[in-house]
Structure 1
Amino acid sequence: MSTLLAASCVSGAPHGEAPSAPPDPELLAFELHEGRIRNHFFRRGHIAAHVLATSGVSPRLIVAFPAGNMGIAVWFDALPAPVELSVEGALSGVERPGGMRGVSARLASTAPALRVHRLVLGSIRTVREVGRDAELPAWLRSDVQAGASAGGASIAVRRTTRDGEHHIELLIEPEGGTTATLEPDGRIALTAGPGGVRVRVTALSDEPPLTPVPLDEIVTERAADDPRQRQALAFLAYREKLLAGSWRFLTYFGRDTLLAVRMLLPVLEPAVVEAGIGSVLDRLSATGEVAHEEAIGEYAALLHLAAGRTGALREPVYDYKMIDDDFLLAPLAAEYLLGSAPGRERAAAFLSRRTPGGDTYAQALARNVSLVLRLAAPFAETGDPRALIALKAGASVGEWRDSEEGLAYGRIPYNVNAALVPAALRASARLLASPLLGADGEGAGRAERFARAWKDAGVYFRVELPEREAKRRVAAYAASLGLDAAPALASLSGTLSFPAVALDGEGRPLPIMHSDDSFVLLFTEPPPGALEEIAGRLLRPFPAGLRTPVGILVANPAFAPDPALWRLFTSSHYHGTVAWSWQQAMLAAGLDRQLGRGDLPARARDALERARRALWEVIQASREARTRELWSWAVEEGRYRLVPFGAERTHHDESNAVQLWSTVYLAVRP
């Protein structure tokens, strides 16, 4: 279900007449249902909120605010049988004197009673970390008070943020005969009236609001006419930054911004492109590293207090542990600033803007280019695979597969070394050769030499298996899942080769098939033979390849000789045998890019065409999940069924209902 409302603009009054009232702020309101989770989005003026209600045996209510990345989470006690928990009617905006603003909703449940198991008011980062059952620190406890309302006794829950600067509040007002009771242990109990549990909940915060980008200023007329994609992107698009996803990542993420803007580039309005790139440049480290994530608001205060600081507790804290985003900035900057209009026409003015630290954007971008060359130099100059780009010392994650087991505990990721470093070097050469960065011919030449040296870095990740061994492993793996192996086995012929997802600490390939061919297709120019192999992985059915009827899987451990690796990549793992929307989109964009080449022989072109048709069949089959972060699957009576990720208690994490880089189908189309 999806609805969208937008206020129309009112023109000014003619000369001599009394001025008309200012136009109402644009209203964005829509709903997305995924399994037992119902998501409601509201954005109007200074108010923006995502309300989600989870049904089942463990009901849950979450309200997430983009302002300050703050939220409220209510987990109810587990019940003997599943119950419905939903929002009845539309959300309404609430704005009080003093800056408290948020939303109000009528919450309804079929349960005879609901008892609050845990209630957390604070940063979304805190909500994610504390969750339903982790120990609750004393400072996070809220002030809970009983009061009165038109429907009877009401409950108000309030907290002042750790730094004492801001406030967050939840008001619960019973309706329809429901009673709200504050029990002796301080927990809240809701007892149903004749029609079940009915309460009015109002969630408020006084964090400084973000500035939304109006719907008609986000994408051009070339964008796909897809209301759900436009709604999702609009909820995440603000003048200050683009948000990664809701509810769990409702703030800036560097990698997500760069990849999303790169794929949306053909249809984004220039101001939105520049908001995205500018947010990255504003957060670069002194050495040119791209910030992966920011800690803002109360979470920043918590980090500063933990470090013993007492002043400027609201100063953002940036995380620079990732390695892939450092090599994504130059390719996007070169594509926009040196490509076609309007980016090329706006480049000089854009690069003259200044970061919060006082540098021009040109100086900040030059720092990143310098970092790219410095990091790429050891391998370019020696050809030693030990000099490939590895995760940072002491870090267990470093690129988009950033769960602990996402790289099979590898240290040297394929996508960074085989695709992103070569692409960043070529882009750096273009930028250095241009007047935008001073027309540095010597630096541009060095970058070009490095790019040639890095061109074949992917060879160190190559895995090869004879046909008989490949079939043996597929049969054994399929049996472990209870899958019919016949279609997969029939698709295997001859020696099987694929790139490992990563190298381990000793430089050995970890034989996990994966979807990171998307990076190779979008950012590099592989030879025809490599393109045919990529097409094969998209055409062969899982577990011989990556294709299922409900999605292209981001990992396939069938060819790992050790079943222990199988257990790291299940359909319940965040980066396991699951489908990520943006990966499918990037594969599609990459296939389009390769098919635009004029140097491909007929055989490679035919393979890519067949892969593209098969890919879009899968994308269309999973259309209902397109705005989500990821999803899982199950097989029932021999047929695949799409399963919302996070819908099962066995799932290791939860998917966002809207994700920035899952809105790219506005630009990526059949």
Structure 2
Amino acid sequence: MRLVSEIATTAVAIAASLLTLVAGSPSAPECQDDAVRFEIKDAPYTNYFYSDCHSASQVVVTSPLPDSNLTVIGPRLLQQVAWPAGNSGLVAFFEPQNGVNGTLAISLTDSPSTGNALDPIYEPSSRGKGDPVVGVSGHLHLNTSARLSVPILCSIRTMRDFTEGPSLLRPEIQDAIKYTESPEGGHVSLSRLWLDNSTTTTLSFAPTASNASVTLEDGDELRFQPGTYTFNASFDYPQLQQLSPREVLSEGAQHLIKDAPEQTQSLSFLSFSDKLTAGAWRFLTYFGRDSMISMLLLGPILSSGPDSAFEAGISALLERINRTDGSAAHEETIGDYATWLNREDGMISTRPRYDYKMIDTDFFLPVVLAEYFIKNPIGRDRACELLKTTPVEDPDNAGLTYGELATLNAEKIMDITSAFASPGGQKKENLIKLKEGEVVGEWRDSGSGLGGGRIPYDVNAAIAPAGLRAIAALAEAGFFPDHPEWSDKAAQYAKVWEDETLSLFEVTVPQEEARALVDAYVEENDFPFASQGENITAPIRFHGLSLDGDDDQPIVRVMNTDDCFRHFLLNTTNEEQLSSFLSQTADNILAPYPLGLTTDVGLLVANPAFGGEPHYAEQFSKSAYHGTVVWSWQLSMMARGLERQLARCHDTSPPGFCGDEKLHGKILQAYNRLWDVIEDNADILSGEVWSWRYDGGKFVPVPLGALTPTESNIRQLWSLTFLAVRRNESLQ
């Protein structure tokens, strides 16, 4: 055995000392709130969460099951520290020394001294200034001898590039890892200085019993005997202030801390004083669209006012607007990954970078602003003060106020929607398209999520007109003093977009053709269930995912759940169109897959059975991120959207569908069918996305990560919206 690098004895001593730092260490300042610990199992993954006032950590232990696809799932310890300001962590892949895949099992065992699966690490800065060393410590058990095959101490984005991409490892990241063995042997640590030349991430192991041992061989290879090991994962990067469960919830929703403890703890874990983060572990940073959809669905239970969850979300959005064109940021790149990208561009800088490629995010912003500044009484009182705030996150926005940035966003929306809204402008060429050179642009942001289409259905038929309605309401309330004309103009634009976009995406498949297509779909894909084509007694109707698809397809004929945007965001007044649209949605919920969207595990976000193109079945498979899979938040938005439409029947001038007993009854039936499925899957609703297998005559949920390297987040911000979205018992 030998050391790769000559590290000073004092550094070795510091690394070894971290093995003993646990909860209650006298060096850690006392927190006002108790630490939060919880565990979530989603085999083959077990997720452990720890957070206190100093730091937040997520540990994912992956141990393949007997029936796991070992080409997709390998045993690993994934230490994810919730650093929204750094979006960072580390991953350690293990493999059995005997080389037989599937023989190694990894687990965490409770600490014999504290009884906890995870305990905090806290050590003041060794330099007397700067950031403390924080992280977590735990006990890792290996059932057989193993070697640490791939460690990555980096940003989450770098980890995702490896786990979801072509196993990409960057030499400038990997070569910086220093391996150290303590002088007396038995303790081994890995550390890496970030590209900022300031932050260090450290992972260390030490056996807890004499029959276990870890050795460093050939300079960079760790070998473990069967047994239990203390591991420490730590770093010294600035931490942000996490919102506790009581801080993230409104006064009237405090009961949820007791009634739904795991969901409220998860919501807290993803919520910070200056931003809401999207999901654990893969998206532990700002994502604009995710934040806004979550805020709109969670609105009734989120805290409002200074230092609240709602204002954390709004501030994060306004901070990151692109002042050159008013675009709202989709995602931020921060920490080590930002430094790396800046270096690639020839800059020595740690400044953040922002992604503006999405076309839906812009339109959601005024909707959220109207929700808080007009509909929320606390938000109305806070509007003037908040909009005077000057940004601190994006250096490029210096000198502007939140109000000025919001106006830039609204100006962009008014400009890009004007052509379609103008007299005679209601044609495909004037719709909102993906940006040049981009293959994604809205929530179905995987490479094949839109079937190659360039003009998304959801953006044009729902999200854009909703943004215009919100601008009109904000202008009416005086929020755009330089544009008083918007109160009328934006409303006029919205009416055109509401009424004239749907027809451009309509798909009608005649009865006999629909039967032939669904029969072929089931046969060609060897599905173990019947097509049920004989039950098709009328044409199949839906709105296609997008226009201008692959292979010169004018419309991507894939049935989908994106009707939910229109039901949730808009109260349209075109009576005939509204009745027809609600009828279509109800039909496709009531029809079981593959005739419609409903399965035992939820509504599938895509059904390519009627596409007429064989490649659709592959693009929208059950292992595709946006394929024949279930997304929790789409269930939530569809349920809340249908409830909103049904609630209009109590208006003083109710829509025409309310008086149509047969249609109203069908919509009610679809609402309750949807809720029956939601309630049947209550245990998995807080996850991001899941797939299925067909077993025993029914669909059974399967983690998407069991089928593909694109692992689902065990907790996703917008999947926690069922805390606020509940079944309306009066509609049964």
Task: Please say if residues 479 and 485 of structure 1, whose CA atoms lie closer than 8 Å, have aligned partners that are also in contact.
Answer: no
1:284 aligns with 2:321: yes
Amino acid at match of 1:474: V
Amino acid at match of 2:310: V
Task: Please say if residues 146 and 182 of structure 1, whose CA atoms lie closer than 8 Å, have aligned partners that are also in contact.
Answer: yes
CA distance in structure 2 between the aligned counterparts of 1:295 and 1:354, rounded to whole angstroms: 21
Corresponding residue number in structure 2 for 1:579 = 630
Aligned with 1:325 (options 361, 377, 400): 361
Aligned with 1:155 (options 183, 188, 197): 188
Task: Please say if residues 91 and 153 of structure 2, whose CA atoms lie closer than 8 Å, have aligned partners that are also in contact.
Answer: yes
Aligned with 1:308 (options 346, 351, 355): 346
Aligned with 1:510 (options 556, 581, 584): 556
Corresponding residue number in structure 1 for 2:139 = 106
Corresponding residue number in structure 2 for 1:466 = 510
Amino acid at match of 2:163: G
Query: Structure 2 matches for 1:412-561, cutoff 5 A?
Result: 412-438=455-481, 440-455=483-498, 456-483=500-527, 486=530, 488-489=532-533, 491-504=535-548, 508-526=554-572, 527-561=578-612
Corresponding residue number in structure 2 for 1:180 = 214
Corresponding residue number in structure 1 for 2:179 = 144
1:71 aligns with 2:89: yes
The Cα of 1:23 is off from its aligned counterpart by: 5.3
1:655 aligns with 2:712: yes
Corresponding residue number in structure 2 for 1:16 = none
CA distance in structure 2 between the aligned counterparts of 1:115 and 1:583, rounded to whole angstroms: 42
CA distance in structure 2 between the aligned counterparts of 1:318 and 1:556, rounded to whole angstroms: 33
The Cα of 1:165 is off from its aligned counterpart by: 2.1
CA distance in structure 2 between the aligned counterparts of 1:82 and 1:637, rounded to whole angstroms: 29
Deviation readout 1:119-148 (Å, 9 max, x if unpaired): 000111011112387242221121011116
CA distance in structure 2 between the aligned counterparts of 1:37 and 1:652, rounded to whole angstroms: 13
The Cα of 1:24 is off from its aligned counterpart by: 4.2
CA distance in structure 1 between the aligned counterparts of 2:160 and 2:102, rounded to whole angstroms: 26
The Cα of 1:66 is off from its aligned counterpart by: 2.2
Q: TM-score, normalised by structure 1?
A: 0.92
The Cα of 1:612 is off from its aligned counterpart by: 1.3
The Cα of 1:86 is off from its aligned counterpart by: 1.4
Stretch moving more, 133-142 or 479-488: 479-488
Aligned with 2:413 (options 357, 366, 372): 372
Corresponding residue number in structure 1 for 2:101 = 80
Corresponding residue number in structure 1 for 2:443 = 400
Corresponding residue number in structure 2 for 1:117 = 149
Corresponding residue number in structure 2 for 1:265 = 299
Task: Please say if residues 294 and 317 of structure 1, whose CA atoms lie closer than 8 Å, have aligned partners that are also in contact.
Answer: yes
Q: Which ranges of 4 or more aligned residues in structure 1 deviate by more than 6 Å?
A: none
CA distance in structure 2 between the aligned counterparts of 1:646 and 1:352, rounded to whole angstroms: 44
CA distance in structure 2 between the aligned counterparts of 1:433 and 1:83, rounded to whole angstroms: 64
Going from structure 1 to structure 2, the CA distance change for 1:374 and 1:503 (only over 3 Å counts) comes to same
* Partner SS state of residue 581, structure 2: helix
The Cα of 1:188 is off from its aligned counterpart by: 1.0
Deviation readout 1:4-56 (Å, 9 max, x if unpaired): xxx9xxxxxxxxxxxxx965443111010001100001101111110010002
Gaps of 5+ in 1: 1-6, 8-20
The Cα of 1:448 is off from its aligned counterpart by: 1.5
1:128 aligns with 2:155: no
The Cα of 1:198 is off from its aligned counterpart by: 0.9
Amino acid at match of 2:461: A
The Cα of 1:231 is off from its aligned counterpart by: 1.3
Q: TM-score, normalised by structure 2?
A: 0.85
Task: Please say if residues 321 and 392 of structure 1, whose CA atoms lie closer than 8 Å, have aligned partners that are also in contact.
Answer: yes
The Cα of 1:642 is off from its aligned counterpart by: 0.7
Amino acid at match of 1:66: A
The Cα of 1:220 is off from its aligned counterpart by: 2.4
Aligned with 1:239 (options 260, 266, 273): 273
CA distance in structure 2 between the aligned counterparts of 1:547 and 1:135, rounded to whole angstroms: 38
Task: Please say if residues 62 and 73 of structure 1, whose CA atoms lie closer than 8 Å, have aligned partners that are also in contact.
Answer: yes
* Partner SS state of residue 596, structure 1: helix
Corresponding residue number in structure 2 for 1:362 = 403
1:94 aligns with 2:139: no
Amino acid at match of 2:367: P
Corresponding residue number in structure 2 for 1:15 = none
* Partner SS state of residue 229, structure 2: strand
Corresponding residue number in structure 2 for 1:34 = 42
Count of residue correspondences = 640
Corresponding residue number in structure 1 for 2:290 = 256
Task: Please say if residues 475 and 487 of structure 2, whose CA atoms lie closer than 8 Å, have aligned partners that are also in contact.
Answer: yes
* Partner SS state of residue 242, structure 2: coil
Task: Please say if residues 432 and 439 of structure 1, whose CA atoms lie closer than 8 Å, have aligned partners that are also in contact.
Answer: no
Stretch moving more, 252-261 or 381-390: 381-390
1:204 aligns with 2:204: no
* Partner SS state of residue 284, structure 2: coil
1:353 aligns with 2:389: yes
Task: Please say if residues 573 and 652 of structure 1, whose CA atoms lie closer than 8 Å, have aligned partners that are also in contact.
Answer: no
* Partner SS state of residue 127, structure 1: helix
CA distance in structure 2 between the aligned counterparts of 1:104 and 1:490, rounded to whole angstroms: 59
Task: Please say if residues 93 and 150 of structure 2, whose CA atoms lie closer than 8 Å, have aligned partners that are also in contact.
Answer: yes
Deviation readout 1:94-117 (Å, 9 max, x if unpaired): 11121111000101122x111111
Deviation readout 1:280-319 (Å, 9 max, x if unpaired): 0000001211101101011110111111112xx1211000
The Cα of 1:434 is off from its aligned counterpart by: 1.5
CA distance in structure 2 between the aligned counterparts of 1:82 and 1:514, rounded to whole angstroms: 41
Stretch moving more, 429-438 or 132-141: 132-141
Corresponding residue number in structure 2 for 1:589 = 640
Corresponding residue number in structure 2 for 1:11 = none
CA distance in structure 2 between the aligned counterparts of 1:491 and 1:41, rounded to whole angstroms: 48
* Partner SS state of residue 585, structure 2: helix
Amino acid at match of 2:609: A
1:603 aligns with 2:662: yes
Amino acid at match of 2:336: E
CA distance in structure 1 between the aligned counterparts of 2:122 and 2:532, rounded to whole angstroms: 58
Computed over aligned residues only, the root mean square deviation of the Cα atoms, in angstroms, reads: 1.9
The Cα of 1:605 is off from its aligned counterpart by: 2.4
